[in-house]
């Protein structure tokens, strides 16, 4: 079998069979298939798609490209959560300690930023000393003692996805349904949890821009998870504007901490609660979602969710002082205010543009090995539906370099659509899909 023939086959729009998909993933993992051939294949998949059967085969081949974790040493029902990626999406930072504080074990594998979206691993690096490189023993021990562990994708867990994810990030091949579904589900199936809750984003800042595509992606992933014997559910959430107000690593960590202190943005809290409710019900901690919401309100009000975040940061070698004093987190010292050009209402904020502006400031990766700057970012002052007057701040940008700040500011300015009439903002939670 030759990879070149498989690329040609996919270029012609034909289906790859199970053996061919296994050959391709095995070869890419062991290095006998180089990045340039895999990039061509990823692009051919972007143009011609994959059937459900091919997607399931790709998922299982990537799951089996490495170790499949055995979490049976962890007591309780382990529920994992994963997002398809958004702008300002700091959900895991608040959600994981919140549900863990209610006794649900969180054993989570997280990724780094992809394209214009941020990743949990990058955000956690804001705590000095924090490590996501955990041995399997430490991972299990931390979940049993602290109730939560978040690890980066180790070289041994779905290594094919790890390589392909980094490749897609820099070859314009991220936003393809089968590639996203197989990437997420291969990791989730390899990481050994009992149940999976998926946050599938839709809107201009999501990889799946159209609602119908997000539903199709959610259905595909729920079906793969269910077939693999895991309780799986998805919530379709809006990404028609950034989630919350903060975009950029440190700024997002501060917003997640604020949320655990009971003063977070409403839209962000809604997403955290929608996903958390499913996790608590799957874990048998709440009888229904209404009870789950009451429990989560309680854990925020009595400070136990915030305390859990501090315990988790410490258990993974981090300095937890910023959890109680967010001024310790790195924030770039130069600012640029983007102002409203006219009176009216904010009718749209192109989230993808805001994410790209953050990347331009240095908050995301331009290539596979770029270092990211945790201190830069964008704080939105106005969101969809808000009234504005000319000259009022729409957003504040934090950066280190005047030139980059100006370029990013132009992008953020253009991302705001201001109209004379107020358009009703799109929903934050669209619907759920249960397996």
Given candidates 180, 190, 233, 275, which one binds ligand URA under the rule CB under 6 A?
180
User: For the residues of 238-272, what is the DSSP string, one character each?
Assistant: E-SS-SSSEESHHHHHHHHHHHHTT---HHHHHHH
183: annotated active-site residue: yes
Q: How far is the CB of 183 from ligand URA (least distance, A)?
A: 3
Residues in the chain: 435
Q: For the segment 375-434, give every residue that binds ligand URA (CB under 6 A).
A: none
Residue 203 in the binding site for ligand URA (CB under 6 A):
no
Residue 85 in the binding site for ligand URA (CB under 6 A):
yes
Catalytic residue (choose from 22, 90, 163, 187): 187
The DSSP bridge partners found for residue 429 are: 237
The DSSP bridge partners found for residue 345 are: 387, 419
In the complex with ligand URA, the residue whose CB is nearer, 187 or 231, is 187
In the complex with ligand URA, the residue whose CB is nearer, 101 or 132, is 132
In the complex with ligand URA, the residue whose CB is nearer, 180 or 323, is 180
- Point out which span in 64-72, 98-106, 178-186, 229-237 binds ligand URA (CB under 6 A): 178-186
Q: How far is the CB of 360 from ligand URA (least distance, A)?
A: 21
DSSP state of 331: -
Residue nearest to ligand URA (CB): 183
- Strand-strand pairing, 393-399 and 377-380: antiparallel
Residue 184 in the binding site for ligand URA (CB under 6 A):
yes
In the complex with ligand URA, the residue whose CB is nearer, 93 or 280, is 93
Catalytic residue (choose from 168, 188, 285, 365): 168
161: annotated active-site residue: yes
The position carrying tokens 């930072």 is 93
Q: For the segment 311-340, give every residue that binds ligand URA (CB under 6 A).
A: none
The position carrying tokens 């490495």 is 66
Structural element, H or E, at residue 221: helix 211-227
Q: Which residues contact 5 (CB under 8 A, 6 or more apart)?
A: none
Catalytic residue (choose from 10, 82, 188, 404): 82
Cα dist. 159→45, 84, 156, 208, 358 in Å?
Answer: 20, 19, 6, 24, 28
116: annotated active-site residue: no
Say what the alpha-carbon torsion angle 383, 386, 388, 391 is, to the nearest 10 degrees.
-20
294: annotated active-site residue: no
Catalytic residue (choose from 65, 178, 183, 375): 183
Q: Which residues contact 166 (CB under 8 A, 6 or more apart)?
A: 368
Q: Where are the beta strands (DSSP E) in 265-311?
A: none
In the complex with ligand URA, the residue whose CB is nearer, 225 or 264, is 225
- Point out which span in 93-101, 175-183, 357-365, 408-416 binds ligand URA (CB under 6 A): 175-183
In the complex with ligand URA, the residue whose CB is nearer, 116 or 231, is 116
The DSSP bridge partners found for residue 160 are: none
Residue 37 in the binding site for ligand URA (CB under 6 A):
no
- Point out which span in 179-187, 242-250, 266-274, 309-317 binds ligand URA (CB under 6 A): 179-187
- Give the up-direction half-sphere exposure of residue 339: CA atoms within 13 A in the CB hemisphere: 6
Q: For the segment 139-168, give every residue that binds ligand URA (CB under 6 A).
A: 165
Reference 140, options 130, 131, 148, 132; nearest CA is 148
Q: Which residues contact 416 (CB under 8 A, 6 or more apart)?
A: 338, 340, 346, 348, 349, 382, 394, 395
**How many residues interact with ligand URA (rule CB under 6 A)?**
9
In the complex with ligand URA, the residue whose CB is nearer, 173 or 347, is 173
Q: With contact defined as beta carbons under 8 Å apart, do 57 and 21 qualify?
A: yes
- From the CB of residue 12, how many other CB atoms can be counted at a distance below 10 Å? 9
Given candidates 84, 142, 173, 204, which one binds ligand URA under the rule CB under 6 A?
84
In the complex with ligand URA, the residue whose CB is nearer, 116 or 411, is 116
Q: How far is the CB of 337 from ligand URA (least distance, A)?
A: 32
434 exposed, middle or buried (CB, 10 Å; 0-12, 13-18, 19+)? exposed
187: annotated active-site residue: yes
Q: Where are the beta strands (DSSP E) in 34-147?
A: 79-83, 106-110
131 φ, ψ (degrees, to nearest 5): -125, 140
- Point out which span in 180-188, 231-239, 365-373, 395-403 binds ligand URA (CB under 6 A): 180-188
Tell me the torsion sign for CA atoms 334, 261, 120, 85: negative
In the complex with ligand URA, the residue whose CB is nearer, 207 or 398, is 207
Residue 183 in the binding site for ligand URA (CB under 6 A):
yes
Catalytic residue (choose from 64, 89, 161, 373): 161
Q: For the segment 100-129, give every residue that binds ligand URA (CB under 6 A).
A: 111, 114
> Which residues are tagged catalytic?
82, 161, 168, 183, 187
Query: Which chain residues interact with ligand URA by CB under 6 A?
Result: 84-85, 111, 114, 165, 179-180, 183-184
């Amino acid at each position: 079998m030759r990879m070149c023939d498989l690329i040609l086959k996919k270029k012609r729009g034909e289906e790859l069979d199970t053996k061919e998909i296994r050959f391709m993933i095995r070869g890419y993992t062991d290095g006998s298939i180089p990045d340039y051939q895999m990039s061509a294949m990823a692009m051919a998949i972007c143009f011609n798609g994959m059937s459900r059967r091919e997607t399931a085969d790709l998922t299982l081949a990537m799951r089996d490209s490495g170790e499949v974790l055995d979490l049976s040493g962890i007591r309780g029902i382990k529920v994992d959560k994963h997002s398809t990626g958004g702008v300002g999406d700091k959900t895991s930072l608040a959600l994981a300690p919140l549900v863990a504080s209610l006794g649900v074990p969180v054993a989570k594998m997280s990724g780094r930023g992809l394209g214009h979206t941020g990743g949990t691993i990058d955000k956690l690096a804001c705590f000095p000393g924090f490590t996501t490189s955990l041995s399997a023993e430490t991972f299990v021990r931390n979940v049993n003692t602290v109730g939560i562990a978040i690890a980066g994708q180790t070289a041994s867990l779905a290594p094919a996805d790890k390589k392909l994810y980094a490749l897609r990030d820099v070859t314009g091949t991220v936003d393809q349904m089968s590639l996203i579904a197989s990437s997420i589900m291969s990791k989730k199936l390899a990481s050994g949890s009992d149940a999976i809750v998926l946050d599938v984003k839709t809107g201009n800042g999501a990889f799946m821009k159209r609602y119908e595509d997000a539903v199709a992606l959610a259905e595909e992933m729920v079906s793969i998870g269910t077939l693999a014997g895991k309780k799986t559910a998805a919530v379709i959430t809006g990404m028609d504007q950034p989630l919350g107000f903060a975009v950029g690593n440190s700024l997002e960590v501060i917003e997640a901490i604020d949320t655990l202190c009971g003063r977070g943005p409403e839209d962000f809290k809604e997403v955290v609660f929608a996903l958390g409710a499913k996790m608590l019900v799957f874990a048998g901690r709440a009888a229904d979602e209404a009870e789950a919401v009451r429990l989560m309100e309680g854990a925020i009000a009595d400070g136990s969710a915030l305390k859990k975040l501090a315990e988790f940061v410490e258990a993974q070698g981090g300095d937890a002082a910023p959890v109680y004093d967010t001024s310790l987190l790195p924030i770039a010292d130069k600012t640029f205010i983007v102002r409203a050009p006219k009176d009216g209402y904010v009718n749209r904020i192109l989230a993808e543009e805001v994410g790209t502006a953050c990347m331009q400031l240095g908050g995301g990766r331009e290539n596979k090995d770029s270092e990211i700057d945790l201190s830069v970012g964008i704080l939105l002052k106005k969101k969809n539906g808000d009234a504005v007057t000319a000259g009022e701040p729409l957003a504040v940008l934090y950066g280190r370099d005047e030139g980059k700040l100006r370029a990013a500011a132009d992008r953020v300015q253009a991302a705001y659509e201001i109209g004379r009439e107020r358009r009703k903002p799109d929903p934050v939670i669209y619907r759920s899909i249960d397996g």
